[in-house]
């Protein structure tokens, strides 16, 4: 069995890259629903519907564990999947934990809540993640005194999905959303990139924040560390996983377009296969 990594598009590659660095021995399937990205402005119903289609597809392809490497899907679909769909599948297998699906928000919050000195944290995310209030809710479970300020960045995912994240247009929108965040709270000392696409804008974000001393946190490394920990604690799933060190890529867009962009993002040559999600 394999580990599935899902995102609405290319963003999950930033998580996959770090997971494979930390856990290179496993076999992975990556699925980007690029044809239907971005998810960030879509309704709860649609995000859940699309995400479950993708997760089910990855289970059908031989994954026993799927990581939603997408904050929007983690915010809007994970709870329903964990409460309705996973128990249904595991019940068919005699109520043993044979499959599971994990998100990226809780692992991020657990680590980032320990990093701040001022207790003021900024979250940059898609409109869907911001509206869900998943970050403020999860942070308050860790420490109710933390002050969380969110800023939606609706243009960042479209810029990245269209390969424009190194353009001057991207400079403009990086400046715009960062200043909107910091205008809301000038005591922020830690900013979470609460969308897996955003690390592709990290050089621009860091440049913009260079003189502020604010720490910017991308999720890849900490999601990888939490996955490692999860696998140590879940013997049935860990034992079911094959260890061939491979990764296969699926996209709902054209395979060639995905290959070109993913090769650029991952700085390595990859092959992708087009699939339809129904
Ligand atoms: N990478 C997704 C996330 O982490 C982007 C969502 C989108 O498609 O808008 O939220």
Active site residue 70: yes
From 160, 249, 259, 251, select the one nearest 200 (Cα to Cα): 160
Dihedral pair phi/psi, residue 111, rounded to 5°: -80, -45
What sign has the CA pseudo-torsion 14, 18, 19, 24? positive
C-alpha span between 188 and 186 (Å, rounded): 6
Contacts of 79 (CB under 8 A, 6+ apart): none
Per-residue pLDDT tens digits for 75-127? 999 999 999 999 998 888 776 678 999 999 999 999 999 999 999 999 999 99
DSSP 26-50: S-EEEEE-GGG---TTS-HHHHHHH
Question: Ligand 1 pocket, 40 CB below 6 A?
Answer: yes
Any idea where the domains of the chain sit in the sequence?
Answer: 2-103+221-274, 105-218
Stronger pLDDT, 253 or 263, i.e. the higher one = 253
From 230, 234, 216, select the one nearest 23 (Cα to Cα): 230
In percent, the amount of the chain with pLDDT more than 70 equals: 99
C-alpha span between 180 and 212 (Å, rounded): 15
> Which whole number is the average pLDDT over 125-152?
96
C-alpha span between 269 and 193 (Å, rounded): 26
Any idea which fold 105-218 has?
Rossmann fold (3.40.50)
pLDDT number for residue 95: 62
> Which whole number is the average pLDDT over 148-167?
94
pLDDT number for residue 263: 87
C-alpha span between 275 and 180 (Å, rounded): 39
Could you say which DSSP state residue 81 is in?
I
> Which whole number is the average pLDDT over 17-24?
98
Structure-block tokens of residue 268: 């390595």
Question: Ligand 1 pocket, 72 CB below 6 A?
Answer: yes
Gap from CA of 125 to ligand 1 centroid (Å) = 8
Pick the CATH number of 2-103+221-274 from 3.40.50.1860, 3.30.470.20, 3.30.365.10, 3.30.460.90: 3.40.50.1860
Chain mean pLDDT for the chain: 95
Question: Ligand 1 pocket, 16 CB below 6 A?
Answer: no
Fold matches, 2-103+221-274 and 105-218: yes
In percent, the amount of the chain with pLDDT more than 90 equals: 91
Gap from CA of 264 to ligand 1 centroid (Å) = 19
Residue 266, helix vs strand vs coil: helix
CA dihedral of 245, 251, 254, 259, whole degrees rounded to 10: -30
Judge contact between 77 and 166, C-beta under 8 A. Answer: no
pLDDT grade for 4, boundaries at 50, 70 and 90: very high
> Which whole number is the average pLDDT over 244-252?
97
Question: Ligand 1 pocket, 148 CB below 6 A?
Answer: no
**Residue among 18, 30, 48, 70 whose CB has most ligand 1 atoms within 8 A, to mutate:** 70
Given a cut of 70, whether residue 17 has pLDDT beyond it is yes
Per-residue pLDDT tens digits for 183-239? 999 999 999 999 999 999 999 999 999 999 999 999 999 999 999 999 999 998 999
From 265, 264, 255, 268, select the one nearest 34 (Cα to Cα): 255
């Amino acid at each position: 069995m394999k580990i599935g990594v899902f995102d609405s598009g290319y963003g999950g590659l930033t998580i996959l890259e770090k997971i494979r660095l930390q856990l290179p021995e496993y076999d992975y399937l990556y699925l980007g629903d690029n044809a239907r990205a971005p998810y960030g402005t879509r309704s709860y119903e649609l995000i859940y519907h699309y995400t479950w289609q993708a997760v089910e597809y990855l289970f059908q392809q031989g994954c026993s564990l799927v990581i939603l490497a997408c904050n929007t899907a983690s915010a809007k679909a994970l709870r329903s999947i964990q409460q309705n769909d996973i128990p249904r599948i595991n019940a068919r297998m005699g109520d043993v934990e044979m499959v599971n699906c994990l998100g990226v928000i809780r692992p991020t919050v657990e680590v980032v809540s320990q990093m701040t000195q001022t207790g003021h944290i900024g979250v940059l995310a898609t409109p869907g993640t911001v509206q869900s209030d998943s970050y403020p809710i999860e942070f308050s479970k860790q420490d109710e005194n933390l002050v969380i300020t969110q800023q939606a960045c609706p243009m960042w995912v479209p810029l990245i999905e269209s390969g424009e994240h190194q353009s001057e247009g991207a400079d403009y929108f990086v400046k715009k959303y960062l200043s909107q965040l910091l205008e809301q709270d000038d005591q922020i000392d830690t900013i979470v990139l609460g969308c897996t696409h955003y690390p592709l804008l990290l050089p621009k974000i860091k440049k913009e924040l260079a003189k502020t001393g604010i720490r910017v946190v991308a999720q890849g490394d900490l999601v990888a560390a939490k996955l490692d920990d999860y696998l140590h604690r879940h013997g049935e799933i860990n034992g079911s996983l094959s260890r061939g060190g491979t990764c296969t890529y699926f996209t709902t867009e054209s395979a060639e377009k995905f290959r070109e962009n993913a090769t650029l993002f991952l700085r390595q040559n990859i092959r992708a296969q087009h699939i339809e999600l129904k």
